[in-house]
Structure 1
Amino acid sequence: MHILIGGYTKHESEGIYQFDFIGAGNEAHLEQGRNVVKVGGPTYFQKAGDLIFTIKNENGQGGIAAYRRGKLVSQLIHDGSSPAYVGINQDKRLLYTANYHTGMLSVISYDEQGQLTLLDQVKHEDRALGPKPEQDTAHPHYFDETPGGHLVSCDLGQDRVDFYAFKDGKLSHLASYQNEDGFGTRHLVFDPSGQYFYVTGELSSQVNVVKFDEASWMFQNVATYSTIPADWDKHNGAAAIRMSKDGRFIYVSNRGNDSIAVFEVKADHTLKLIQRVSTFGEFPRDFNWDEEEAYVVAANQNTNNATLYARNAADGSLTPLVKNIQVPEGTHVLFTE
């Protein structure tokens, strides 16, 4: 098993690094990382077989690029900022990107060789911006598939979740769910039933539980929970959110409080905080787990380190195993075979 970690390349990082996962139980650890893809600014990426599809940002240009065994095979690059997120459907050979700076959502196809083709784009216009300084324009931060095969985006600038159809190579808007003003809608996850989603508010440091019907596009705001302590008075930005495959636990990273908040999902789909564990570094933008969800790795962007945890599937808790794993400017974590 391996772990890929990439991020910014403003200082020491040269791109995407691979770490070998060694051992099991309390003996589990990561071997020293090695650079496997030399690329500028791979802040988010996906893997399909021997292809890696990554955000690329170099020399005032940004976009998405495909690499095979460390070699560039295709790219879609433009002047200006790169996307912030890349989603993938390997069966359809489709990629989904959200560009935080330009407001653009894109659907891109790829073939067996990794050749990329832009299929369609839509731009989020500045319709109803939030009240906070970070909400100066539309800022889509996430674009991926729903349980029903539609597409969904999260827009931090407009506190909004938008749903789209993609048919005959074209995107069309279907529905919207509005978070409260200043929420800073960032990422979301769907529960196994496909009837609830849990969305993080980066600016409010909250998780909003929403019941929805993907046929009628009816939404019900169930409850909202803080990811940080009630007495926390310093800056914090909630970032990554993940849900265990059994739907029993939600995990959210806090940049500022520098922790992972662990919530139990109760029978009525409301949440109960069961743990808030340190990431032993600063600014954990992302974390991820292996296929069995037995181990978690969190990357701390500002302190160039990562932490390995063991995950208890019965109660959802995380136990630190190895701290201060050296990772330069890490912002995205991906377990691979």
Structure 2
Amino acid sequence: MLAAVTASTAAAVPLFAATSAHAAPARSNDLLYLGTWGRSQVHAVRFDPVHGTMTPLGSMAEVSSNWVAVHPTRPVLYVAAGQQGGTIRVFHIDDASGSLRQTGEVETQVAPGADGGLSYIGLNEDADTLLVADFSTGSAVTVPVGRQGGLGAVASRVHGTGSGPHPRQTGPHPHHVVVDPSRGFALIADFGADRVFVHDYDRATHRMSAGTPEEPRAYATAAGSGPRRLAFHPSGRTVYLLNELTADIQVLRWDPRVGTLTPRQLLTTNAPGHTGTTSAAELAVSHDGRHVYTSNRGDNALVVFSVDPRTGLLTEAQRLPCGGVTPWSFTLHPEGRWLFVANEASSTVDLFRVDPRSGRLTDTGTSVAVPNPDCISVRSSRGTAGATRS
């Protein structure tokens, strides 16, 4: 049945849309760029944040797109490839039409890795470094970003160590890289090693230190948990860690003086009585730090947690269907009033309204068809990019 759904949506015909796909949207509306799992396409959708409508624009680039990221202030899109070589392509965005023009590319792998390629790319808060997780080679990379958004040569590369008991954990597999708010450390969620590796980060040179293989600075998760996503609370003292294979979320205390993590809380994202596949996928913190959002692919659900303002600890506040099948990722709109879900197996992008006070989500029923979407990044008409805060 899923194969039939995927085939029927390959042409990106809208399931629900407030405007015709052939209409000329207002220039002031935002652009969503979507990577597609196994489709080798980057799609675009025009979004009206006032009325909450989405208009599909179709494929804008025929390239492998495991992950995409929009520059926060420049009309630039970065696209991470899934094929060997670890290629990151740079595109100029035409805001009027949404079209893309490639302006450069960088290969991040010294030796080709296995199939799977890059699992994440994202910019640090200064927007001067691209952070890269290479699932296939077990390495994480930093690449300098110029003032106009162009990429320089690879500045640093670090390799994880270790493995886990799951068949997919035969070696290190970085899944996410973030720089902490102090800008002194880079943290890597390693799916294969069941570790969060912590490296010194030099803001001036864009480099992560290699550390010492004998004593790597790391936080160990439970065996077979598969760390996937990290997100800092705005306070800078709390880190949330989402584990894919066990589908749980951990609250960790962060000490920016020495770069250490200490466990404080562990909560499941699975529904009560859950059976079958267990797979958590995406994580985000609201800009005000009052709510944490996760997606669960095993339950096809979104889970909202409220944050204790004094402690950073979590309480489950809401659990609801994701609007489709396999919520691979989601993205909060920069204004915080909308959440876009990339439902990969049902080939839909679904729109949810965010209540600014309670943080609760409401499915708007608005959805557009995009073949196997795996990630979403926002080019805002106000000149700021929206992406999962992580």
TM-score relative to the length of structure 1: 0.91
Match in the other structure for 1:205: 247
1:269 to 298, 307, 312: 312
Where do residues 156-235 of structure 1 align in structure 2 (5 Å cutoff)? 156-167=191-202, 168=205, 170-172=207-209, 173=211, 175-235=217-277
Structure 2: where are the runs of 5+ without partners? Answer: 1-28, 94-99, 381-390
Find the aligned partners of 1:253 and 1:45 in 2 and give their Cα distance: 19
1:32 matched to 2:67? The reply is: no
Quick check: which one's strand share is greater? 1
Find the aligned partners of 1:4 and 1:323 in 2 and give their Cα distance: 15
Where do residues 71-110 of structure 1 align in structure 2 (5 Å cutoff)? 71-77=101-107, 79-80=112-113, 81=115, 82-89=117-124, 91=126, 93-110=128-145
Find the aligned partners of 1:46 and 1:20 in 2 and give their Cα distance: 15
Match in the other structure for 1:116: 152
**Partner AA of 1:75 in structure 2:** E
Find the aligned partners of 1:179 and 1:160 in 2 and give their Cα distance: 6
1:147 matched to 2:147? The reply is: no
Give 3-state SS (helix, strand or coil) of 1:44's partner.
strand
Q: In 2, are the aligned partners of 1:86 and 1:96 still within 8 Å (CA)?
A: yes
Match in the other structure for 2:45: 19
Structure 1: where are the runs of 5+ without partners? Answer: none
Residue 249 of structure 1: CA displacement? 0.6
**Partner AA of 2:222 in structure 1:** E
1:51 matched to 2:76? The reply is: yes
Q: In 2, are the aligned partners of 1:33 and 1:327 still within 8 Å (CA)?
A: no
Q: In 2, are the aligned partners of 1:46 and 1:86 still within 8 Å (CA)?
A: no
**Higher relative contact order (Cα pairs below 8 Å, separated by 6+ residues):** 2
Residue 120 of structure 1: CA displacement? 1.4
Match in the other structure for 1:253: 295
Residue 186 of structure 1: CA displacement? 0.7
Equivalences, count: 330
1:131 to 149, 160, 165: 165
Q: Deviations over 1:58-113 (max 9, x none)?
A: 5x543211111322222123544521111213745211101111101111113336
Q: In 2, are the aligned partners of 1:75 and 1:116 still within 8 Å (CA)?
A: no
Find the aligned partners of 1:186 and 1:42 in 2 and give their Cα distance: 15
Q: In 2, are the aligned partners of 1:5 and 1:330 still within 8 Å (CA)?
A: no
Q: In 2, are the aligned partners of 1:66 and 1:116 still within 8 Å (CA)?
A: no
Q: Deviations over 1:182-228 (max 9, x none)?
A: 22111111111111101001000000001121103343211100001
Find the aligned partners of 1:37 and 1:90 in 2 and give their Cα distance: 27
Match in the other structure for 1:287: 330
Find the aligned partners of 1:160 and 1:303 in 2 and give their Cα distance: 32
Residue 2 of structure 1: CA displacement? 2.3
Find the aligned partners of 1:236 and 1:323 in 2 and give their Cα distance: 27
Q: Percent identity?
A: 23
Find the aligned partners of 2:262 and 2:206 in 1 and give their Cα distance: 31
Residues 123 and 265 (structure 1), Cα distance of their counterparts in 2 relative to 1, 3 Å cut: same
Give 3-state SS (helix, strand or coil) of 2:326's partner.
coil
TM-score relative to the length of structure 2: 0.79
Q: How much is the aligned-residue C-alpha RMSD, in angstroms?
A: 2.0
Q: In 2, are the aligned partners of 1:110 and 1:117 still within 8 Å (CA)?
A: no
Q: Deviations over 1:285-310 (max 9, x none)?
A: 11112111101110111110011011
